[in-house]
Amino acid sequence: SGAGGAEENYTPYGERLETYIVPIVFACILIVGVTGNGVLMVTICRHANMRNVPNTYVLSLAIGDLLVILTCVPFTFTVYVLDSWPFGLLLCKVSECAKDISIGVSVFTLTALSADRFFAIVDPMRKLHATGGGKRATRFTKVIATLIWLLAMICAIPASFSYLRVFTVNKNVTFTTCYPFPEEFGPSYPKIVLICRFCILYLFPLAIIAFFYILMARHLMQSTRNIPGEMQGQVKQIKARKKVAKMVMAFVAVFAVCFFPQHVFMLWFYLNPNAQLDYNAFWHYFRILGFCLAFMNSCINPIALYCVSGTFRKYFNRYLLCCCCTPTRRRTSIINSNRRCQSFSFTTSRRHTSSRRGQQSAINLPIWNPSNVSDTRGRSMPQEQETTVTIFQNGVEQRT
């Protein structure tokens, strides 16, 4: 939001490359983001074994990402496609607020996850982190997640002041855009908001996360040296916690990379007094890169989780490939079921015919017997009831 080149460098939207590339990128973000985060939410909500403390935070991340995808992505990309914002004031405010709420939920949740991983590894006897799946730990996590959303909403209050601002490029060209910094708040307002946003939603949380991970790495190196070789259970537990820590670190790295270009551009543009004159092709495409990466963060988390977590990968494959694999799986299930039945019948037959010369395998084939017959033990069978008769065919004992 809120940047434009010098008047003499203005190029009509129809002649810009980004007019055709950005919609394709955002269409991919929409499809991948809705699918990935949707499957992630279904996986955690439907399977009881996936409901633990770290996955509660992951669910919160997915909800925040889905919020920004559904409320921002279908509308915000028009900044690079249309001359003016076509959706009105309400959607302007909603999209800006949803974007800031999602950013806040992401970074605060990642901070909470990092703290949770730190205490799970350094102080595993605590009951309020992921080492325990008890009700107390779950309630505590839900309270923290709720507070994170409230804090993110508070941080998004400045976005609620967004309005439709008219910019004049030259005497022939004017356009209306969704602008987050009201003019009546003064020229210093954008600088204050951007600096606070950079510190609260990027710099400070990442510094706290880095602090937790440095202490965590130090503790793991020390504990690995001190663990006797025979304490294999403790070694496996530490390895499992390391896997979750790596998953969180992947999320943090994705967030840091995705939002760094946007913060750099916004700070440069609003803090540099000569930004309007210095704005050139490099800064223009750097701005587009930051714009796309910031929204791309909302669809990359499920991909990162798929890569680093074997458990989530299993569920993702089940839900994403079910349409293609359902007929094959059905046939395979039927075949396997028949094989299990045959194996069971074979075992049963061996038990009953062990005293006979030349043990035979048995396959149970129920039929309808309309007349009185005798079974292998000479007992009379009533009419019109389902029964089993043993016969020999091709060296195999079959019950019919």
State residue 235's pLDDT score: 63
State residue 13's pLDDT score: 76
Task: Identify which of 161, 197, 192, 203 has the alpha carbon closest to the alpha carbon of residue 179.
Answer: 161
- The secondary structure of 228-268 as a DSSP string is -TT-HHHHHHHHHHHHHHHHHHHHHHHHHHHHHHHHHHHHH
State residue 14's pLDDT score: 79
Residues in CB range of 133: below 8 A, 6 or more apart: 51, 52, 53
Tell me how far apart the alpha carbons of residues 26 and 30 are, in angstroms, rounded to a whole number: 6
99 C-beta neighbours (distance < 10 Å), count: 23
State residue 93's pLDDT score: 95
Architecture of domain 7-320: Up-down Bundle (1.20)
State residue 77's pLDDT score: 87
Q: How far is CA 204 from the centre of its chain?
A: 24
pLDDT tens across the length of the chain (400 residues): 444 444 456 677 778 888 999 999 999 999 999 999 999 999 999 988 888 888 899 999 999 999 999 999 999 888 888 888 999 999 999 999 999 999 999 999 999 999 988 888 777 655 444 444 567 777 888 899 999 999 999 999 999 999 999 988 777 778 899 999 999 999 999 999 999 999 999 999 999 999 998 888 887 777 666 555 545 556 666 677 677 778 888 899 999 999 999 999 999 999 999 998 899 889 999 999 999 999 999 999 899 888 888 888 899 898 887 755 544 454 554 445 445 444 444 444 444 444 444 444 333 434 444 444 444 444 444 444 433 343 334 444 444 4
- The secondary structure of 153-178 as a DSSP string is HHHTGGGGG-EEEEEEEETTEEEEEE
Q: What angle do CA 273, 277, 267 make, to 5 degrees?
A: 45
Residues in CB range of 134: below 8 A, 6 or more apart: 127
89 C-beta neighbours (distance < 10 Å), count: 12
Domain ranges, ordered by start, for the chain: 7-320, 323-369+386-399
